Structure 1
Amino acid sequence: MQTSKTQFITEKGTRYMGQLCKHFAHKIDAGVDGNQGYANFPFGTAKMRADENQLEIAISAEDEAALTRTKDVIESHLVRFAFREELEKLDWRDAA
């Protein structure tokens, strides 16, 4: 199992997490419960936690290719949703 984490410092973490989960829920199992959210893609899983200072995202997948695909999907959507904050990319930290 491959894993990676990222953190986006923002005052709108809860809003972005809700946006991501609601958007993904149209096609996959995804949802929000309080300050936590999830998205279960066929190729990987994302778990999110948000508060008034940040959005943390932890992803897992079976192999490197699936991990990269999960990162790309999460990142491309978050960059689009957070365009006012001029987010260009996330700094992912892969677990060793």
Structure 2
Amino acid sequence: MIATTTFSTTNASRYLGTLCKHFGHKVPVEFDALQGRIDLPFGQCRLKAGDTALDLTVTAEDRPALDRLTEVIGSHLERFAFRENPQLDWQIPAA
């Protein structure tokens, strides 16, 4: 299953790096200034930084894992970007 969201921000690269560095202490991550991947035990998050937005795509095997993944990634981004008050609207395509 897949869910996607976009966070409008001019600090996308910074938040991408912060998220990847944070999770990199516990799980495998790969990232540079424009893209990243976080491999959690229950799914994966791919991040893409642009000039005006951070795009996030999460994948998991089932709906409970997907819901957990959106919650974990979303809550961390909200904490790191609290000054911008991100309102994440995760979209889950119909199967």
Corresponding residue for residue 65 of structure 2: 66
Deviation at 1:34, TM superposition (A): 3.6
Of 65, 89, 92 in structure 1, the residue corresponding to residue 90 of structure 2 is 92
CA contact (8 A) 2:16 2:33 kept: no
Corresponding residue for residue 52 of structure 2: 53
- Over the matched positions of the two proteins, sequence identity in percent amounts to 45
Deviation at 1:51, TM superposition (A): 1.5
Cα distance between partner residues in 2 of 1:15 and 1:49? 11
1:6-30 deviation per Cα after TM superposition (whole angstroms, max 9, x unaligned): 0000000000000000000000001
CA 1:5–1:86 in structure 2 vs 1: closer, same or farther (change >3 Å)? same
If the length of structure 1 is used for normalisation, what is the TM-score? 0.94
Runs of 4+ in 1 over 4 A off after TM superposition: none
**Cα RMSD (Å) of the superposition?**
0.9
Q: How many residues are paired up? A: 94
